[in-house]
């Protein structure tokens, strides 16, 4: 996994001062060094500049980028962030057309495919990727089907900037700015953001499954992949069998690496199933899988079960590790370390995010990244198989709002009344919700309840899953760790999307289909464990520390947060008892996370504006 960035203009603006253009690319590469410390490279011609920082996973010796090829009078260049999991099949198909190889890297296969077939080749890769391809006449930017890998861009006149993270655009020369739309997203939707938006004024993000082409005639964007709603014709047994094959095949494909891999193992169904397949595959080769679980210092004493977090991960993770025979490490994070990383977590995403939920993942990834370069995780299974409570809650079916962010009163807690009146946050969130629902792929003749459940699933894929994928990408890549997400294989989504709810949820069993597909791979206690989300700290000292930091901000009139926050309202909130059982976003972000989020907002405003 890597970092990519660059710019394109057909005004030949680089010819007069190539040194300045190269300096821009060097700054962008340095801004993305955390994504790829193993190597870097630059390509610059009359119209385009490309830069790449490399985390070497496949063919470390020969897979350097930008990767260049010259055929006749045309020069081709590629910078690529990702992994292809069907490289062998793609390579065989291209060999039949006369291609021969100088490396064993998937980068060379991708480059050859694009040269050979152009945009038509985009239908063939299975993987996670964001890349920029220059064919001498046009620049093509592409993002993978489910949006696992990020790609941002901004346009200023005839000049286009792009990069794996917004910070790369800023290093290239784009100036960060904030407008009312950005503020509305921060306060009405955050830590989620509108698909395609980069929050900063003028910054856009390529949509999942989208490509952007820039040539001398201008810029065009198209979707090369769309999710389709189709009748499901397989019976129950065949559905389980096909699902089991797709899941196992995705996991096994994503084990490809020239360096050792590991897995994140929470002891829940998703990560345990990924770990089980990896462990068995490695055991057949005489190797042992490394697994890592996460928890927080003090949770032995302070954790209290609630509807959103019914059990701790640690006992189940240890049980799964023993059953699978993995080399397991149980990691813990203290509340002081967690609080200290809030600003760094914001910088990793260039935005306020999931507050301490991000900060903790950043902490854990930093430790794992010192031991391994590649990890497989259980992300995306809940969105695809219907694991969240709002897939089946009465409120989600009746209320036409984002089901993970229903409580708008919580968002008003800190904000000035005049700001609330000007921004009209609930109306903004409602419009964003309705716009997304209108785009949901429909199935003609579907029963109203199934149609509504499809809307809920669509909202999850476009919003909630993207928030978690962004979190995983930035936190892992900040630690030079490549995180792979087997459940985000587009083949799994395409199949399971059309499976009726009665096969996904049966006998009051959440993710029944995935559990049946996983039979034989896990002990029953893990296979049928009730879902519990990513852990968080319940240490009361963490809450006190956040409150003290917020009071310091409120006491300093020079802090930028004062523009938006009502000091008296904030103090009332800080003085009230925290309720961990009433999250305002997802299942994890409750009262302490609200304070942490606004601390991140303050740090973000100071850094960028």
Band of pLDDT at residue 64, cut at 50, 70 and 90 = confident
If one compares 576 and 512, the residue with the highest pLDDT of the two is 512
Q: Which residues span the domain enclosing 17?
A: 2-179+194-223
The structure tokens listed for 313 are 């991960």
For residue 591, being part of any structural domain is answered with: no
**CB-based contacts of 98, cutoff 8 Å, min separation 6:** none
Q: What pLDDT, in 10s, does the model give residues 10-26?
A: 987 777 789 999 999 99
Distance CA 365, CA 344 (A): 13
Mean of the pLDDT values across residues 295-307?
84
In DSSP terms, 83 is beta-bridged to 128
Does one domain contain both 16 and 164? yes
Distance CA 253, CA 255 (A): 5
Q: What pLDDT, in 10s, does the model give residues 445-470?
A: 999 999 999 999 999 999 999 999 99
For residue 510, being part of any structural domain is answered with: yes
Mean of the pLDDT values across residues 60-77?
86
Does one domain contain both 116 and 254? no
Q: What is the pLDDT of residue 61?
A: 67
Least confident of 12-16, 78-82, 145-149, 478-482: 12-16
In this predicted structure, the answer to whether residue 63 has a pLDDT above a threshold of 80 is no
Report the predicted TM-score, pTM, of the whole model to 2 decimal places. Answer: 0.96
Q: What pLDDT, in 10s, does the model give residues 324-372?
A: 999 999 999 999 999 999 999 999 999 999 999 999 999 999 999 999 9
Q: Which helix (H) or strand (E) holds 219?
A: strand 218-223
Q: What pLDDT, in 10s, does the model give residues 373-383?
A: 999 999 999 99
| CATH number, position 377 | 3.40.50.620
Does one domain contain both 369 and 498? yes
Does one domain contain both 258 and 174? no
For residue 594, being part of any structural domain is answered with: no
**Domain stop point among 527, 545, 574:** 527
Q: What pLDDT, in 10s, does the model give residues 225-239?
A: 999 999 999 999 999
595 close to 338: Cβ distance less than 8 angstroms? no
For residue 535, being part of any structural domain is answered with: no
φ, ψ of residue 76 to 5 degrees: the values are -120, 145
Mean of the pLDDT values across residues 296-321?
86
Number of domains in the chain: 2
Does one domain contain both 173 and 240? no
| Residue 411 vs residues 414, 423, 426: alpha-carbon distances, Å | 7, 12, 10
Mean of the pLDDT values across residues 502-509?
94
Does one domain contain both 390 and 469? yes
- 333 part of the active site: no
Mean of the pLDDT values across residues 544-571?
96
In this predicted structure, the answer to whether residue 77 has a pLDDT above a threshold of 80 is yes
Instruction: Name the average pLDDT for the chain.
Output: 94
Least confident of 99-103, 161-165, 198-202, 574-578: 574-578
Q: What is the pLDDT of residue 240?
A: 98
Does one domain contain both 210 and 256? no
Q: What is the pLDDT of residue 27?
A: 96
Q: What is the pLDDT of residue 22?
A: 93
For 425-443, letters b (16+ CB in 10 Å) and e give beebbbebbeebeeebeeb
For residue 392, being part of any structural domain is answered with: yes
- Which residue is catalytic, options 2, 8, 262, 440? 2
Does one domain contain both 267 and 122? no
In this predicted structure, the answer to whether residue 147 has a pLDDT above a threshold of 80 is yes
| CATH number, position 147 | 3.60.20.10
Does one domain contain both 116 and 249? no
For residue 32, being part of any structural domain is answered with: yes
Does one domain contain both 218 and 243? no
Q: What is the pLDDT of residue 94?
A: 97
């Amino acid at each position: 996994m890597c970092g990519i960035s660059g710019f394109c203009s057909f005004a030949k603006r680089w010819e007069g001062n190539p040194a300045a253009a190269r300096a821009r690319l060097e700054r962008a590469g340095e801004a993305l060094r955390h994504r790829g410390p193993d190597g870097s490279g630059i390509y610059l011609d009359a119209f385009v500049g490309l830069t790449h920082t490399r985390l070497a996973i496949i063919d470390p010796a020969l897979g350097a980028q930008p990767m260049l090829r010259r055929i006749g009078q045309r020069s081709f260049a590629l910078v690529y962030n990702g992994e292809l999991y069907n490289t062998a099949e793609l390579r065989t198909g291209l060999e039949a057309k006369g291609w021969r190889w100088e490396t064993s890297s998937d980068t060379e296969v991708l480059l050859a495919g694009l040269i050979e077939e152009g945009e038509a080749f985009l239908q063939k890769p299975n993987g996670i990727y964001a890349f920029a391809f220059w064919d001498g006449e046009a620049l093509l930017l592409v993002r993978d089907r489910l949006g696992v890998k990020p790609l941002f861009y901004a346009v200023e006149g005839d000049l286009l900037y792009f990069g794996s993270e917004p910070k790369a655009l800023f290093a290239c020369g784009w100036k960060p700015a904030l407008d009312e739309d950005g503020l509305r997203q921060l306060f009405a939707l955050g830590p989620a953001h509108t698909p395609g938006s980069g929050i900063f004024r003028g910054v856009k993000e390529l949509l999942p499954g989208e490509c952007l082409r820039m040539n001398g005639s201008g810029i065009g964007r198209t979707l090369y992949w769309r999710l389709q709603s189709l009748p499901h014709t397989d019976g129950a047994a065949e559905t389980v069998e096909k699902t089991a094959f797709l899941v196992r095949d995705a996991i096994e494909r994503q084990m490809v690496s020239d360096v050792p891999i590991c897995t994140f193992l929470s002891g829940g169904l998703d990560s345990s199933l990924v770990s089980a397949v990896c462990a068995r595959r490695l055991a057949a080769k005489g190797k042992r899988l490394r697994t890592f679980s996460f928890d927080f210092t003090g949770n032995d004493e302070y954790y209290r079960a609630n509807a959103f977090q019914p059990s701790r991960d640690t006992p189940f993770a240890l049980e799964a590790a023993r059953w699978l025979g993995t080399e397991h490490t149980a990691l813990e994070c203290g509340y002081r370390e967690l609080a200290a990383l809030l600003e760094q977590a914001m910088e990793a995403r260039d935005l306020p995010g999931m507050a301490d939920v991000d900060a903790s993942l950043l902490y854990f990834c930093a430790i794992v990244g010192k031991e391994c370069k590649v990890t497989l995780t259980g992300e995306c299974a809940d969105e695809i198989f219907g694991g969240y409570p709002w897939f089946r809650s009465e409120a989600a079916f009746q209320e036409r709002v984002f089901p993970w962010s229903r409580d708008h009163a919580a968002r008003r807690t800190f904000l000035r009344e005049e700001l609330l009146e000007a921004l009209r946050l609930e109306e903004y969130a409602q419009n964003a919700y309705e716009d997304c629902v209108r785009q949901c792929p429909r199935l003609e003749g579907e029963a109203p309840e199934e149609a509504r459940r499809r809307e809920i699933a669509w909202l999850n894929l476009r919003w909630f899953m993207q928030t978690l994928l962004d979190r995983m990408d930035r936190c892992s890549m900040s630690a030079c760790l490549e995180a792979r997400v087997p459940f985000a294989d587009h083949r799994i989504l395409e199949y399971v999307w059309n499976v009726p709810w009665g096969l996904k949820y049966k006998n009051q069993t959440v993710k029944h289909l995935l559990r049946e597909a996983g039979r034989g791979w896990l002990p029953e206690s893990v296979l049928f464990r009730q879902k519990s989300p990513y852990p968080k700290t319940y240490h009361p000292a963490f809450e006190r520390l956040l409150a003290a930091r917020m009071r310091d901000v409120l006491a300093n009139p020079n802090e930028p947060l004062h523009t938006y926050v009502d000091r008296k309202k904030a103090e009332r909130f800080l003085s009230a008892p925290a309720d961990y059982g009433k999250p305002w976003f997802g299942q994890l972000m409750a009262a302490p996370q609200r304070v942490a989020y606004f601390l991140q907002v303050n740090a973000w405003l100071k850094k960028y504006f």
